[in-house]
Amino acid sequence: MDLAIVGLERAGKTTLFNALSGGQVETSRYGATPTHIGTAHIPDDRLQALAEHVHARKITPVEVKYWDIPGAGFSKSGAAPQLLAALGQADAFLHVVRAFQREDVAHPLVNVDPARDIEAMDAEIAFADLSLIEKRLQKLTTEVRAARSSEREAGQRELTLLEKIKDGLERNIPLRRQSLNDSEKRALATYSLLTGKPVLIVLNVGEEAADRIDVIQAEYDERFAQSDSRVVAICAKLEMELAELPLEEAEEFRPQVGLKESGVAAVMQASQELLNLITFYTAGEQDTRAWMVPEGTTALQAAGKIHSDIEHGFIRAEVINWQALINSGTIAEARKKGLVGVQGKSYIVNDGDTVNILFNV
């Protein structure tokens, strides 16, 4: 899972990056700073329990990659190319929105207004897509006119589709909310249009508002949350400081600063929900591992996630819920109880499944 952290300067992007990745990047530098890349493992009690149950020598959790992108920079030419290139690689965006007041840290748009900043970033991303589409339309129009009649049909279909997308964007409808059939989605896959990606809005509140995070989140959730967007409110500064402490100390200190739960965990959970991801497991003594895949993934696709050779040589999958495996004691005992399902290629993997793929190469 690749997540790009974006937003205006001085919104707290790098502070959030440090909190999520355990990084120690300087947070007081603004302007033309480089893109920072960090990773984090998703905490998973189920994985830990499975690993202990099978006495695994190695535990491999799901890894998340975070991209800390420099401030968007608003100008007539649109967002910076560096921002656009990094966004194109992301599965989703974490849009950090400033909701804290600090006299010593000026807001690039003068005053703090989270709703305005959310809409401004949406507009910038839409503008980037429109620029790309308009350039392609100009080139494609010339190509279609010059093409032979036998070759003109495919180009005309692409022209019609791009005009449709352009019209939606001009009416403030991002690609992810436009009605497209499967054929149209495949045709647009190579474009990497930014408005087609889901967005997690991260409201960065001040320390004085730490005990009101749930109220603040509910307010913005009602206005901005949809099927392709979520809202999470956190205090990134406190979360970064807590990330520097040992886990037990952090959990003990959290309520003392007014935080009811981990903001980092909330961001991770919301990111998974936003992308409709589930987790399945492979459990063995050598390596017990968590795998994250989109909801609706088949057993054959899950095999490919593990290794392409396993996918190509797929025979069948043995599937059991992680808790059922632990409760049964051994896989042999689970088989006696009829808890292990033998599934074919089209089986839809469920969250929490422990999967053993039988294959031949």
**pLDDT tens digit sequence for 99-144:** 998 888 878 788 889 999 998 888 888 888 898 899 889 888 888 8
Tell me, what amino acid is at 46? R
- DSSP states of 283-323 as a string? --SS-EEEEEEETT-BHHHHHHHH-HHHHHTEEEEEEEEHH
Residue in 43, 40, 47 with CA at minimum distance from that of residue 63? 40
Q: Give the other-Cβ count within 10 Å of 95's Cβ.
A: 26
Retrieve residue 94's tokens. 């974490």
Instruction: Give the burial class of 359: count Cβ atoms within 10 A of its Cβ; 0-12 exposed, 13-18 middle, 19 or more buried.
Output: middle
Domains present along the chain, CATH in parentheses: 1-44+62-276 (3.40.50.300), 296-359 (3.10.20.30)
Task: Give the three-state DSSP class for 336.
Answer: helix
pLDDT digits (tens, 9 = 90+) for 185-239: 888 888 888 999 999 999 999 998 988 999 999 999 888 888 889 999 999 999 9
Q: How far is CA 162 from the centre of its chain?
A: 26
Whether 128 contacts 84, CB under 8 Å: yes
pLDDT band at 81 (very low <50, low <70, confident <90, very high): low
Instruction: Identify the three-state secondary structure at position 248.
Output: helix
Among 69, 77, 73, which Cα is nearest to 96's? 69
Cα atoms in the Cβ-side hemisphere of radius 13 Å centred on 136: 20
Reported as a pLDDT band with limits 50, 70 and 90, residue 256 is confident
The pLDDT of residue 72 = 55
One DSSP character per residue, 157-191 reads HHHHHHHHHHHHHHTT--GGGS---HHHHHHHGGG
